[in-house]
Amino acid sequence: MHLVEQQQKFFATGATLPVEYRIRQLRSLYQVILLNEDRIAGALQKDLGKSEQEAYLTEIGQVLSEISFVLRNIRRWARPHRAAFSAATIFSSGRIHAEPYGVVLILAPFNYPFQLALLPLVSALAAGNCAVIKPSEYAPETAAILSEILNNNFEQRLCAVSLGGPETAKALLQEDFDYIFFTGGRSVGQQVYAAAANSLTPVTLELGGKSPCIVEKSADLDAAAKRIVWGKFLNAGQTCVAPDYLLVQEAVHKELIERMRGYITRFYGEQPEKNANYPRIVNKAHFDRLCEMLQEGTVVYGGQTDPQSLRIAPTFLENAPFYSKVMTDEIFGPILPVVEFSTLEQAREYISLREKPLALYLFTRSRAAEREILQRVPFGGGCVNDTIMHLCSHALPFGGIGASGIGQYHGKAGFDTFSHQKSVLKKWPVFDIPLRYPPYGRARPIMKRILK
């Protein structure tokens, strides 16, 4: 594509390297978002039925906050950092330079179409890269406004939006990018990884998976109920780190479910599927897939559907077979399978039978239970006594492990992701160690002592 060549030529001029240039671009992005805030919220409402408040909380505000944090820290991050002293490199100094990769490709998903397109862009621009963004065609209104506000306010040789469907994504993956950042499902992530492997292009893959939520008997059940309901049914469950299934200790099973039912009514009313402020499923295909999952267990609460608005009421499902789709596939909707356990070891073993999750949530007041889960269960990131909120901390890197993803971003981690850490050793010309040069002879024992 001509666009990629244009960005490559612009990057080669070195124009993106000065920190002040990067700061100007980020400030411009911040102002453009502020000026178009209402239109962005309107696009999110049309695409996903998000209320103005949810659009700001989960998308617009997240991006503005990230830009502000980066602007406060970018000068420090971009400075060369001194490396630790080594006896083997005496009479020299080492520094690590954060060097931009060049031209990066950002492939964004539909569920948070604004946030998940722009958070990687903020990191890429902060690190001094040029970027091409491919938004999801499943959120066309948001994709259109992204294209408008970025293509009209930034030079396309620095930052550009490429609209289209799978064919556009495939064409972009054939281009000579220096880095690829993908957020989405595992199957498409594998295709991106395979395409990147052909040219040995480095990648970050932000995928998903079956993220468990464990409620242990010592937990504060009211806080657990409120935070699980909020985290699970935010964006109608279309969140990559939403609790995907609930593991609840048998002693508190009934009480927790009852409290969660109360919070669903408080948050969304008696008929959530009729609530205009409750988000909808993105399209008919995803709606139908979720309706099939409703048949794979016993609905103990919810289950109402509205095919016209594509809304599905928050639903608790029990007795789902271990190998059913609702228990093996990432749900990505407002269905929460509930599994009872008797001991924490049993819960831990249940999780271990699946691939490593992107997120894990544990509700407990027991330090021993917390240690057991955090030390024995691998996962990308998560919370103790909360859900979702680990994403909101700029100081916590976000990313998966194993099948749930490769790489991390947010805050400094995002800057590092889009930067090559270039190591440079600078030697003083007037000093030297004769022992390093042949013939070695009796120098060998001395060298061994130094290197040890």
> Percent helix, strand and coil across the chain, each rounded to 5?
50, 20, 35
Specify the residue for token string 């049914």: 233
Main-chain dihedrals φ then ψ at residue 367, nearest 5 degrees: -65, -35
CA distances for 139 relative to 44, 91, 385, angstroms: 8, 58, 33
Q: What number of residues does the chain have?
A: 452
Residue 361 C-alpha from the chain's centroid: 16
Beta partners for 104?
A: 131, 179
Residue 362's CB is within 10 A of a number of other CB atoms, namely 26
Residue 322 has, within 13 A of its CA and on its CB side, a CA count of: 5
CB 8 within 8 A of CB 103: yes
Residue type, 429: P
Residue 339's CB is within 10 A of a number of other CB atoms, namely 20
- Annotated catalytic residue: which of 206, 216, 273, 372? 206
**Catalytic: 330?**
no
* Helix, strand or coil, per DSSP, at residue 184: coil
Strand order in the sheet with 405-406: 159-161, 130-134, 103-107, 179-183, 203-206, 405-406
Asked if omega into 120 is within 30° of 0 (cis), the reply is no
Quote the Cα angle for 346-348-353, to 5°: 95
**Catalytic: 355?**
no
Strand order in the sheet with 419-427: 81-82, 92-100, 419-427
CB 105 within 8 A of CB 204: no
DSSP symbols for 21-73:
HHHHHHHHHHHHHHHTHHHHHHHHHHHH---HHHHIIIIIHHHHHHHHHHHHH
CB 342 within 8 A of CB 250: yes
State whether the Cα torsion 128-131-136-142 is positive or negative.
positive
Main-chain dihedrals φ then ψ at residue 386, nearest 5 degrees: -165, 175
- Annotated catalytic residue: which of 240, 273, 330, 372? 240
Angle, helices 221-233 vs 253-268, to 10°: value is: 50
Catalytic residues: 206, 240
